[in-house]
Amino acid sequence: EHLWKRFYQDVMLEESKTNSTPCWRVLLDGKVVKTPKGTPLELPGHGVAQEVAGEWQQQTEDILPLEMPFTTLGCTALDITRHDPAASVDRLLPFLEMDTVCFQGEQDLLAERQRQEWGPLREWFESKYAVKLGVASGLAAPNHPEETLLRITQLLLDRDAWELCALEVATQTAKSFIVASALLDKSTTAEEAIRLAQLEEDFQIERWGMVEGDHDVTETEMLKWLTACRRFSKLHRDI
């Protein structure tokens, strides 16, 4: 594996403006950090910029990009989401159409736990975004009303690139659009989001046991990214 050596000493922040919009840049020995596509990494507020700067400061001899989730979110928002938000929405909608929390298990104990945990989450989602959700059992799809998908599409397009990027990464991490929405728009913590997203898997582990190590690694990675997405969104909204 190719490692990128740390090539700088000092990490600083600089306030700037892009099209009259205030933004912040991270400087490494006075040079602006750029995205993989060569765009200056201009961040939407001091709080987000501080987190990005902290990641660069914490790097030791080798730079580990996978341990820099705030930097990754910022670069992804600028290089990908901002240029084609509709494509981001197109990637998100299938997660809602087949959302894990809209399936009802056929085992009584599992079904009861899903009702207790996922029922209130679905009710919150319906109330928050003024939509109706379908619920499926077995192999059928939840079959949400068309109006739900149209409204969610519009609400997603109304978000800026930073919010949309954080939501997409959270959705891909949790494998649930509804859980990711609760992470960003409700007071759901990253730990709670993992529990909701993995409810069925955890139920099966309780019954049959866990494959040593694999589940722990997955959960650690999920916690890192969900925590970053939640904080990224919160700091951005607090500007």
Question: Whose structure tokens read 């379908």?
Answer: 134
Query: Taking the model in full, what pTM does it have?
Result: 0.93
**pLDDT tens profile 210-223:** 655 566 668 999 99
**Which tokens belong to 143?**
């079959």
Pairwise CA distance, residues 238 & 139, whole Å: 42
Give the integer Cα–Cα distance in Å for 191 and 198.
Answer: 11
155-160 long-range contacts, CB within 8 A, separation 24+? 155/129, 156/85, 156/88, 156/89, 156/92, 157/85, 157/86, 157/89, 159/85, 160/44
Please write the tens of the pLDDT for every residue from 65-99: 999 999 999 999 999 999 999 999 999 999 999 99
Model confidence at 21, pLDDT cuts 50, 70, 90, reads: confident
pLDDT at 17: 81
pLDDT tens digits, one per residue of 99-115: 999 998 877 888 899 99
Band (pLDDT 50/70/90 cuts) for residue 2 is low
